Structure 1
Amino acid sequence: MKDLGTDVIRYGVIGCGMMGQEHLRNIALLEGARVAAIHDPSELMAGAARLMVPGASLVTDLDALLARQDLDALLVASPNHLHVDQLERIARTRPLPLLLEKPLFTDPADADRVARIADTYPAPIWVAMEYRYMPPIAVFLSELERATGGVKMLTIREHRFPFLPKVGNWNRFNRNTGGTLVEKCCHFFDLMRLCLKSEPVRFMASAGQVVNHLDECYDGEAPDIWDSGYVIVDFENGARAMLELCMYAEGSEYQEELSAVGPDGKIEARVPGPGRFWPQALGAPPVPQVIVSPRTPRGPRVLEIPVDPLLLEAGDHNGATFYQHQRFLRMVRGMGDCDVTLADGMKAVQMGLAAQASAVCGQAVNFR
């Protein structure tokens, strides 16, 4: 039997679009890991991936990839609406340790399918919630309890650029993405549960399509994907969280801003957007920050959290994809646990669906 504690871990990668290629760049930076096989039905994406990883085999279909006996782990970075079907095929034929991109599923009816897999899959499945691993957010999480004395209020704001073009424009339609509060915001609902150490009980949301994609048309169909909204969430322990999303605010200095407040004080994290979008005329992009503001003695303390430029070049998530892969690799080697389980991934999607339901009906939605 292969000793995964010492040998090179060989990945099979399913889906090589924008996010898949970010994974490829970051796997290349890991010690003791390489991509052995890649599959994407798009010739354009598969060709781009092949140029990035010339030593990997380009496999024409998913079954052929799963039949390979030289793989130690799998990565799924395909479009959202394909995740559950692919997960079921993997579970039936080659249930290797798996890193599965968010969102875990898009259709509420698929929750039971995922739950059945969770009960029987013999290897760990890690749902890719990269935002946990952004260096400023990682520091924010590590200092959260000490800075606040127990979080009572949590605010997450993302002011960013619109959805980027994807192959076949699949991300312009709710039926493919699960809707913006699932596709984009499952990250933030995951962070809410992680920060508050509690479960949601009620959602109140207002959201919609206000500015973006209004003049677009694909095969005679107008996009229906939302671009902005507010979500307030009540939790079992009495804490409250709020999400503010705006996807026509790419002129912002910081893309994500988190704020947590408790009886002892406040802590904030500020995360800039991808450096490739920062105007060069303004000089260097802003440096991520964590700000701790105790009630006593008063006075904020600003900590700069610089990120390795090599990691910034490797992706759009402030180095998070690399750090997530480091931890995933440790788990595959049997040296660590799965940080983000199928149960976590399911809950993040269900929270997004509840928020969307509240926005549609204009009323509070209880969460079960």
Structure 2
Amino acid sequence: MKKIKFGMVGLGRLGIQHAENIAFKIPEAELTAICAIEEERVEEIKTKWGVPYGYTDFDEMIKNNELDAVFLCSPSHLHCDQIEKALEAGLHVFSEKPLGTTLEECKRAEKAIENHPDKVFMLGFMRRYDPSYVYAKKMIDQGKIGKPFLFRGYSQDPESAIAGAIAYAGHSGGQFIDMAVHDIDLSRWLLDSEPIQTWGIGGCYKHDEFGKHKDGDNVSALLKFKNDAMAFIFAGRTAPHGYNVETEIIGTEGILRIANVPQKNLVEVLDPSGVRKECSQDFLERFETAYVDELKEFVDCIINKRKPEVTVYDGTRTTIVAYACKESFETGKLIDIQEN
């Protein structure tokens, strides 16, 4: 069977994980090219893994006629431009979140994807492919908790990773677009409705560096949905114990909780400190399976000529909601969320 030949863009912490998944964990995929601005890094991975092609220029890479698809793990503000160029080059496109850092960028990506209906586009909302969230969605759809009316989502990065977060803050788009988009997307998916109002609050409780970008190190938002459901979303950068993502969905007949205790595995440690469970230390560890499964879905869509559930419009909508939360956070006002 013909393998789907990928060009990987970006070799940072997440990019290298995606590249490894393509190269070694998906039998139907082949890592044919890699692209990053650091030439030494490109040559290192190219040699180590036996990747045929290495580039420091995205425009040059997409001229490679051997490629079938590109995987974009580049800085957020480059996504939409690269999506457009890759589609024009005849390539299928998987892009990490967020879709874009402005609504104008998202609309540009929408148009490019609409102009290439024969190509598969998928956005990296990997939590939809995490086994626990897949199971929760199935239970909700089957009516196991009645009518869901409240979503609560916590996403916390560890304090140990704060230096990278501060360095990235200037071009991240802010914490709502950089972190909270996952919970925004989950709330839309699990509540099966769209947010119409938001109240955002937060601040720089430990690291004032975020303030110069009109951002906080810990932020939260309350959302009202078209179907009157509610969502509370919290995104933080200063968790002392490790990487922590937890979700609760409350319905009229039951409650679902996912990762209420952010444990790394089922092992309990008994030592002079007491009895404890260790926590995952980053998103790569917590969502290892989800990253592989979303890539499997993308490859299968290409092979079987179908489209994934996650679309460009999910990316646009989460961007609109995230920026409404950011506007509320910055102005202290209740914000009505605009339609697309």
The TM-score with structure 1 as length reference comes to 0.80
Maintained 8 Å contact 2:174/2:213: no
Q: Distance in 2 between matches of 1:355 and 1:152?
A: 20
Change (3 A) 1:273 1:26: farther
Where does residue 302 of structure 2 map in the other structure?
A: 332
- 2:216 counterpart (217, 222, 226): 226
Provide the secondary structure at the position in 2 that maps to 1:248.
strand
TM alignment of 1:1-368, pairs within 5 A: 6-27=1-22, 28-50=24-46, 53-92=49-88, 94-122=89-117, 123-145=119-141, 146-162=143-159, 171-173=168-170, 176-212=171-207, 214=208, 225-251=215-241, 255-270=244-259, 285=278, 315=285, 317-334=287-304, 336-368=306-338
In structure 2, do the counterparts of structure 1 residues 313 and 7 end up closer, same or farther at CA, with 3 Å as the change threshold? farther
Compared CA separation, residues 44 and 81, structure 1 to 2 (3 A)? farther
- CA distance in 2 between partners of 1:152 and 1:34 (Å): 43
**Which aligned segments of 4 or more residues in structure 1 are displaced greater than 4 angstroms?**
162-167, 221-225, 271-276, 278-284, 312-316
Code of the aligned partner of 2:125:
M
Residues 162 and 238 of structure 2 are in contact (CA less than 8 Å); yes or no, is this contact kept in structure 1?
no
Letter in 2 for 1:158: S
Distance 1:38 1:236, change over 3 A: same
Deviation at 1:283, TM superposition (A): 7.6
Q: Is the 8 A contact 2:83 2:93 kept in 1?
A: no
Read off the aligned partner of 2:31 and give its amino acid letter: V
Give the CA RMSD over aligned residues. 3.0
The count of residues paired between Structure 1 and Structure 2 equals 328
Distance between the aligned counterparts of 2:249 and 2:139, measured in 1? Answer: 11
Q: Cα–Cα, structure 1 residues 223 and 313, in superposed 2: closer, same or farther, change >3 Å?
A: closer
Structure 1: gaps spanning 5 or more residues: 1-5, 288-311
Provide closer, same or farther for how the CA distance between residues 360 and 222 of structure 1 changes in structure 2, counting only shifts above 3 A.
closer
Q: Is the 8 A contact 2:151 2:231 kept in 1?
A: yes
User: How much has 1:101 moved relative to structure 2?
Assistant: 0.6
Give unpaired runs (5+ residues) of structure 2. none
Q: 1:224 Cα deviation (Å)? A: 5.4
Do the aligned residues in 2 keep the contact of 1:131 with 1:187 (CA within 8 Å)?
yes
**Counterpart Cα distance in 1 of 2:228 and 2:174:** 28
- The one-letter amino acid of 2:76's match is N
2:42 and 2:55 in contact (8 A); partners too: no
Amino acid at match of 1:256: V
TM-superposition CA deviations, 1:65-88 (whole Å, max 9, x none) = 111111111101001111122223
Secondary structure of 1:229's aligned partner: strand
Identical amino acids, percent of aligned pairs? 21
Q: CA deviation at 1:114?
A: 2.3
Of 134-143 and 45-54, more deviation after overlay is shown by 45-54
| CA displacement, residues 307-348 of structure 1 (integer Å, 9 cap, x when unaligned) | xxxxx9975524210011111111011165312111011111
